[in-house]
Amino acid sequence: MLEDGFHDVPAGKLAMIVTYLEMTSKTDTRDVPLPAGLTFRRVAADITWYRDIFTRVGGLDWLWYGRLVLKDDALDAILSDPQVEIYTLSRDGQDLALMELDFRKEGACELAYFGLTSDLIGTGSGRWLMNKAVELAWAKPIERFHLRTCTIDSPQALDFYKRSGFTPVKRSVEIADDPRVLGVLPDSAGPMVPLLRP
């Protein structure tokens, strides 16, 4: 059991509070239009495309690292699994969003990754894309739609998920290697989290 109080986090590590959220029946969504100039599509993602969009959506601003530390074969196994669906929003030929639905556990869908590049923040694209996520997830025979977010992600993320119909159900503390120390992300990534090298 974790004792109350402060706990040192070693240099070279990140510490974050992870909140687990779920939706156990399809929520009503507020209809919003897809902003002009954007198109929505499912992607048959390869490793190069995926790492690029993953880094642009979450790595540089929010220190997303989970998929960046995977070996090529491990990442390819996820991307090529027919139970994993990857979508994006594009404008003028450039992909600007990542939505990943993972149906690999029977009866459930995990919103594994969801985010927009800074170009789309504040345009209504996030609400439109979340509505699409809810629609696609519940089009399958699931009983639970779930996700995780953490305290180093966008400060708006948790409230956005709650407004989208997800309910917080659990919290945990995660400690992991800082991806900047690992060389997976540049030192300038995640400016809101101080970089402490060992």
**E strand or H helix at 97:** strand 97-102
Beta-carbon contacts of 149 under 8 Å, excluding residues fewer than 6 positions away, are 18, 19, 21, 157, 158, 161
C-alpha angle 116-74-70 in degrees, rounded to nearest 5: 60
Domain assignments of the chain as residue spans, ordered by start: 13-26+36-182
3-state secondary structure (DSSP) of residue 87: strand
Euclidean distance between CA atoms 59 and 145, whole angstroms? 24
Tens-level pLDDT at each residue, the chain (198 residues): 778 999 899 999 999 999 999 999 999 988 899 999 999 999 999 999 999 999 999 999 999 999 999 999 999 999 999 999 999 999 999 999 999 999 999 999 999 999 999 999 999 999 999 999 999 999 999 999 999 999 999 999 999 999 999 999 999 999 999 999 999 999 999 999 999 999
CA–CA distance from 154 to each of 159, 180, 186, 193, 196 (Å)? 10, 18, 18, 12, 21
Q: Please state whether the predicted TM-score (pTM) of the whole model is above 0.75.
A: yes
CATH fold group of domain 13-26+36-182 = Aminopeptidase (3.40.630)
> Of 66, 68, 74, which is closest to residue 183 (Cα–Cα)?
68
Residue with tokens 């699994």: 81
